[in-house]
Amino acid sequence: MANAPASTPEVPFLRDPRVRSVLWQALLILLLIAAAVGLFLLAAANLQRAHITSGFGFWNQPAGFDISQTLIDYSSSTSTYGRAFWVGLCNTLLVAAVGIVLATIVGFTIGIARLSTNWLVAHLAAGYVQLIRNVPLVLQLLFWYNAVLKALPNFGDSIHLPGGGYLNNRGLYLPAVDFGGGGDVVLAALGAAIAIMIALVVLARRGRIAAGLATALALAGLIGLPVGAALVSGAQVSFVFPQLSRFNVRGGLEMTPELVALLTGLVIYTGAFIAETVRAGLSAVQRGQVEAAQALGLSRLLTLRRVIIPQAMRVIIPPLTSQYLNLTKNSSLAVAIGYPDLVQIFTGTVLNQTGQAVEIVAVTMAVYLVISLTTSFVMNIYNARMALRER
Amino acid sequence: MARSMARSMARCVRRLLTVCAAVSALVSVTSAAWAGRLDEVKARGMLNCGANGEVPGFGLPDAQGNWTGLDVDFCRAVAAAIFNDPKKVKFVATTAKDRFTVLQSGDVDVLARNSTWTSSREAQFGLNATAVNYYDGQGFIVRKDTGIKSARELDGATICVQQGTTTELNLADYFRTNKMQLKSVTFLSLQEALGAYESGRCNAYTTDASGLYASRLKLAKPDDHVVLPEIISKEPLAPFVRQGDSQWFNVIRWTHFAMVIAEEDGITKANVDEMLKSQAPEVKRVLGVEGNFGQQLGLTNDWVYRIVKHVGNYGEIFDHDVGEGSPLKIKRGLNALWTKGGLQYAPPIR
């Protein structure tokens, strides 16, 4: 208490409110750690007593089951449980990424439509939001799944799409591009082209190069690089057309009804929540801003783009982030309609075959935590950039 | 100041010790709960039985909440042996996916849910299969109009399957062995898997043969579907218990044996009272007229009498739940007594 003012009576060390608060917090943390360690030891002891195997030894054991949609190589005969985990994770990330983009588009469209001066548009949008927000998501998923299955024709009556695709209730089949072994090189080139494109956009924004030149360069790179890479690597570029076989369509790109139903359900559901967030954000922009824009002679579209939305975004982004997180987490309901996401594969089949509930559920929770934290980290950066800069 | 600090640190330590004591008390309470599942069930006055809830013939509640099925009757028999009252069972519907976790955690005393006895379910899951109460095998069901006569013709077909079963593995094995291409779509519940098959998402639906017959009845037009002749796996279905409680394991295992022995000896629900007067030494031992074999198990000596009186012998429950007396009309086949060419064989009570 050397720096305490001389006028105040000396406070004993442990009576000092600051010292006390630190002590109490330290004690609380210690208690929490003790409780966590206690629970961990208890669980470990109980598992041992119950003769249940624990640990991650199962990770490298062969899985032996089939998965209906695999973005990375997977075979039921040689792949491990660990590989099955990555397959599930990729499927979850696919739904989350595509779902977030589509839900944002739907949400912004409906949110803006709700504020439309057109009576019909505004009320249709309001009806959509009220209906969708108030029905449990899992019911909507089942509805869409059955709707997709019932609406599409049976395999025997497959619709032949122009260009060599097929559509039936087993899925949508499109011709795929095959690079004859050079696929990795072409993918890498495409990645490089996208990176260059982003760099060009940044440079153009900062006024370092002309926007027109940047666009031309970006387009040239986007087409030229992969084509060039394909030529250089000597890859045999060919199209793989889906073929009708006795039971199924074989070859080509396949999009399963489970994926379509899951995406539809998640996008429509989350879109309704985003729409309300967007409406709230737009309504939060002061009327005077619009009037000022009109006084300057800006068109309605330009007013929306340049005046209202930039200000509304500050209100929209934080709740928007939590909608993105909700969509990702809700994708775990995929299990109800047979889409092989992380939960279905890992905490479903793998858990059941290995019986190691504690490890598997812990890993799955950690994965969702990481996905969520990453999403909110990115959104926080975006938020910081959009935030009002006070000068 | 130093003294007050020391004092409060001592207080801190005391509090921490209290917490440690509380945690260790928790541990010891939990370990106490591990001793004697039979005593625990008796004290509770109720048997907790993990059942299916979706498969007719094995475990399914009706609209009034009355459970029926072979596995359900098995749990009733256990309750009859312990309490002399087959109604003292609480059935817990479990999914294929969560059933073993429910048993591992001790939420149910026994899992009678058409579950296949495998090595990993014993060695890795910490469970024990008690006795095979139904010899089953995995099969396929397809639409009649596809003209498929054999599972070997399913190359490239899409198969609907329920998650969390040995079925998923057998399916992949069978297609791999026969060098056929497989597309499987996996669902959490039987209803969803069967529904997807019915709507044409899949060419075939696969599960244990007993389940196929049951599932076929759930389809809108059962006669449009046919069960293929191939049985692609061994599925010995058995009630499971947790490891580490031999007394409880014995009670569950011998409940099944008792029903089989009763059938062998011709003891039925109808004649069990007369059989008490039988002079045959085996019948006397079985029904507890002689010896104390029930007490050795931790039950009463009339335990088999109770089982047969309230529930019936194995042949009777088979007939009533899945056999000729039921809509499923499944033949005894492998489940006939060993004396009649089947596999049901019980060690003697003596």
pLDDT tens per residue, range B40-69: 999 999 999 999 988 889 999 988 889 999
pLDDT digits (tens, 9 = 90+) for B160-202: 998 867 889 999 999 999 999 888 999 888 888 999 999 989 9
**Structural domains present in chain B:** 38-135+237-336 (3.40.190.10), 138-233 (3.40.190.10)
pLDDT digits (tens, 9 = 90+) for A218-264: 788 778 877 777 777 666 677 778 888 888 887 778 889 999 999 99
Q: Pick the residue with more confidence: A353 or B71?
A: B71
Probe site for chain A from B186, B198, B202, B246 (most A CB atoms < 10 A):
B186
Check residue A1 and give its pLDDT. Answer: 46
pLDDT digits (tens, 9 = 90+) for B236-294: 999 999 999 999 999 999 999 999 999 999 999 999 999 999 999 999 999 999 999 99
Instruction: Domain of residue A260: give its range.
Output: 81-172+256-386
Q: Pick the residue with more confidence: B97 or A108?
A: A108
| Residues A377, A327 share a domain | yes
| Confidence label for B3 from pLDDT (cuts 50, 70 and 90) | low
The pTM of the whole model exceeds 0.80 = no
Check residue A5 and give its pLDDT. Answer: 52
The domain that contains A105 carries what CATH number? 1.10.3720.10
Which residues in chain B have their CB less than 8 angstroms from residue A14's CB? 1, 4-5, 8
Q: Which of A199, A214, A240 is the last residue of a domain?
A: A240
* A2 in a structural domain: no
Please indicate if any CB of chain B lies within 8 Å of the CB of A91: no
| Residues A192, A321 share a domain | no
* A220 in a structural domain: yes
Interface contact A146-B195, CB threshold 8 A: yes
The mean pLDDT of A29-47, rounded to a whole number, is 90
| Residues A194, A310 share a domain | no
Nearest CA distance, A325 vs chain B (angstrom): 24
State the angle between helix axes of A357-386 and A309-330 in degrees (0 to 180), rounded to the nearest 10: 170
* A350 in a structural domain: yes
| Residues A192, A45 share a domain | no
Which residues in chain B have their CB less than 8 angstroms from residue A333's CB? none
Which residues in chain B have their CB less than 8 angstroms from residue A353's CB? 120, 169
| Residues A228, A112 share a domain | no
* A102 in a structural domain: yes
Number of separate domains in chain A: 3
Please provide the average confidence, as pLDDT, over all residues in chain A. 86
* A5 in a structural domain: no
Closest CB from B23, B104, B171 relative to A50: B104
| Residues A367, A329 share a domain | yes
The mean pLDDT of A338-363, rounded to a whole number, is 90
C-alpha B98 chain-centroid distance: 13
| B244 contacts A51 by C-beta, under 8 angstroms | yes
Q: Which of A240, A264, A279 is the last residue of a domain?
A: A240
| Residues A85, A21 share a domain | no
Interface contact A14-B26, CB threshold 8 A: no
Check residue A305 and give its pLDDT. Answer: 85
* A76 in a structural domain: no
| Residues A156, A186 share a domain | no
Q: Which of A210, A240, A270 is the last residue of a domain?
A: A240
First to last CA, chain A: 40
Please indicate if any CB of chain B lies within 8 Å of the CB of A50: yes
pLDDT at A367 over 90: yes
Check residue A180 and give its pLDDT. Answer: 63
Check residue A235 and give its pLDDT. Answer: 62
Give the A window 157-196 contacts with B, CB below 8 Å.
169-170
Q: If you write DSSP's letter for every residue of A210-267 in order, what string do you get?
A: -HHHHHHHHHHHHHHHHHHHHHHHT---EEE--EE-SSSEESSEEE-HHHHHHHHHHH
- Quick one: which of B293, B270, B278, B302 has its CA closest to B348? B293
| Residues A105, A166 share a domain | yes
* A71 in a structural domain: no
| Residues A108, A156 share a domain | yes
| Residues A160, A230 share a domain | no
3-class secondary-structure state, position B240: strand
| Residues A182, A168 share a domain | no
* A67 in a structural domain: no
Nearest CA distance, B253 vs chain A (angstrom): 19
C-alpha B158 chain-centroid distance: 29
Please indicate if any CB of chain B lies within 8 Å of the CB of A247: yes
- Which token pair is B73? 């009757």
Paired with B160 in beta bridges are: B185, B205
